[in-house]
Chain A
Amino acid sequence: MKVTTPRSILFGTAALALSLLAIMPARAALQVDITESADGAVPIAISPFASSGQALPLDMAQVASDDLESTGLFDVLDRDSMVATPSDPDEVNYQNWRSASVDNLVVGSAEANGSGGYRIRFDLLDVYQGRSSSSFQLNAGGNELRDAAHTIANLVYEKFIGEKGYFLSRIAYITMAQESGGLRYRLIVSDYDGYNPATVYSSRDPIMSPAWSPDGSKLAYVAFDVDRGRSSLRVQDLASGNIREISAREGINGAPAWSPDGDALALTLSYRGSPDIYRYDLNTNQLTQLTNNGAIDTEATWSPDGQHIAFTSDRGGKPQVYRMRRDGSQVERMTYDGESNQRADFSPDGDKLAMVQKSGNGFRIAVQDLENNNIRIVSEGPLDDSPNFAPNGQAIMFAKQGRNNELATVTIDGETKTRLSQSGEVREPAWGPLGY
């Protein structure tokens, strides 16, 4: 990223097709609240984006600032503490920013492009060098300013961190609310920060265990149908809403997990007796039993290379995480720390395992380094569940249960925590792919 090719200019001029949807302010059902932040982060300020016409319907600088701040890897200057709010590199008095110890500054503007959208340009300024280190320009539709702001944050994040940012990714989660006539369960998809929530499926019977297809186009989940006396495991296409029923056998139809190539699901069925892990080939509809014993085997998750499946089993007494090859052979126990360990999730690079660990402090999220088996506890408990790695592996989202049911995000070092909350119960976050 240190390349300084002088004046390498222009990459394509494809115009972004404009959506005809009316501009509407993005709603957030989940409220973001950064609760702890780490030291040693990259100091940066994002000055408010200018617009010569009407005021922008979205504070892009604030959205991008919130993105970066939530990672714990950036120390983002509050708007109130800014010495000035320039929008063009020529307006910047670098000496003032140096005095304020702001090493990096983003300035930019978004101008109406005459066809309902915006032409956005911004510069990333190196305050000590006193010059722009990168400048970018992009066009966005009238209702795409939020995504444009996330894109700005992704570009800044990648420039400093060297990994792709996850600010355009989406999450799925389950809510339960008490409504007239009884409980109402919803499967919801939103931006990673809780904005733009949309209900994908809704029922008076429980909905569980959402899992993203690797390409982000589908969700597998479990829906109960009490009248039918069954649960069903299904795959729903998000663009069309079409639902494909995978299994509605007697007993458990649960815990879907996509293979990394998207061609198969691991799932839990109990129609032959005790709960066991099966592999369901989505192309041939072939079902293969992978575990077979009297214990509980459930909560499968695939290693990123597709060669292994980790799962929870109480075959040794208390639930622990085990691993087998994708054909069910070579089963080995992976976890020994704490009283019990359940519901594992592999990091995207396969080097770590996140799980729910039970100890004297309740149920907390643990991260196990698979190289040396060191364990780090990254949440406080007492009822934490459903850990999910961010698509770039740098954070974990999980659910907090108990008095306040909410979603939380923690960096993998456990240092920075962000809460996503709303009224009613929110649970079972599933973090989708990067989104770009």
Chain B
Amino acid sequence: MSVMTNQVGRRCALAVVMVLAAFALAACGGDKNLRDGEDLPAAGMDGGDDQGMGMQSGRDIDVRGLEGIDPEDRSMFTDPDNPLSTRIIYFDLDSSAIPSRFSQAISAHGRYLSEHPDVKLRLEGHTDERGTREYNVALGERRAESVQQALVLSGASDGQLSTLSFGEERPAELGSGEEAYSKNRRVEFIYTK
């Protein structure tokens, strides 16, 4: 780029020279990916092809989360009369305390884990959309750990349990308002192999 000025002070001239440098870099920097406005799913640029997007994906939540359960046992987890069928714990606003209505479910899962020491359970923590995103990841983790501790008290061992918090990033229900929020403040039970 050539630059000519007249009646311009030094500072402007310097600014223009720096612009020149930026243009030269843009032209030689090989940053085609960032300039052509196209989605480029180049090798290594695409993330996992996971299908488990909770309820949004259309995948049945009753199936997701039971991969680690012996097929013969799965009916216990889908029978609505069995406390093991409760595999989502919902929380009050700004709280990681497990509401008492879930204590039967916690006991049942704790007992199942103690009787099946090879089974592993991942506790996925979630929040509603209020507040900042990374702070919500921490709040979701606190909820998952609260459930983890309760399960250990009910017989599970620490080695069977892990936590993963999504914060507000994977809402069960899209949208704003207490109806959606109350469904999003949750910990999901994911039995893995």
A residues with CB within 8 A of B: 1-19, 21, 24, 26-27, 121, 132-141, 143-144, 147, 151, 154-155, 158-159, 164, 168, 170, 178, 181-183, 185-186, 189, 196-209, 223-231, 238-239, 241-243, 250-252, 254-255, 268, 270, 275, 296, 298-299, 312, 319, 342-343, 356, 358, 363, 383, 385-386, 401-403, 427-428, 435-436
Contacts and interface: CB of A to CB of B under 8 A. Distances in A.
B119 interface: no
A209 B134 contact: yes
Contact of A11 (B13, B38, B122, B190): B13
B11 A1 contact: yes
B69 to A, nearest CB: 16
Contact of B48 (A135, A227, A296, A401): A227
Contacts of B29: 239
Nearest to A343: B132
A402 B36 contact: no
B19 A154 contact: yes
Q: Say whether chain B's binding surface is mostly helix, strand, loop, or mixed.
A: mixed
B187 to A, nearest CB: 14
Given A137-B4, A386-B132, A203 B46 contact: yes
Given A1-B11, A21-B36, A200-B45, A205 B50 contact: yes
A202 B27 contact: no
Nearest to B120: A229
B141 A252 contact: yes
Contacts of A26: 37
A270 B162 CA distance: 12
Nearest to B190: A229
B141 A251 contact: yes
A222 to B, nearest CB: 8
B90 to A, nearest CB: 20
A160 to B, nearest CB: 12
Closest 4 CB pairs of A and B: A203-B47, A3-B9, A436-B22, A182-B57
Contacts of B4: 9-11, 121, 135-137
A226 B52 CA distance: 8
A144 B192 CA distance: 52
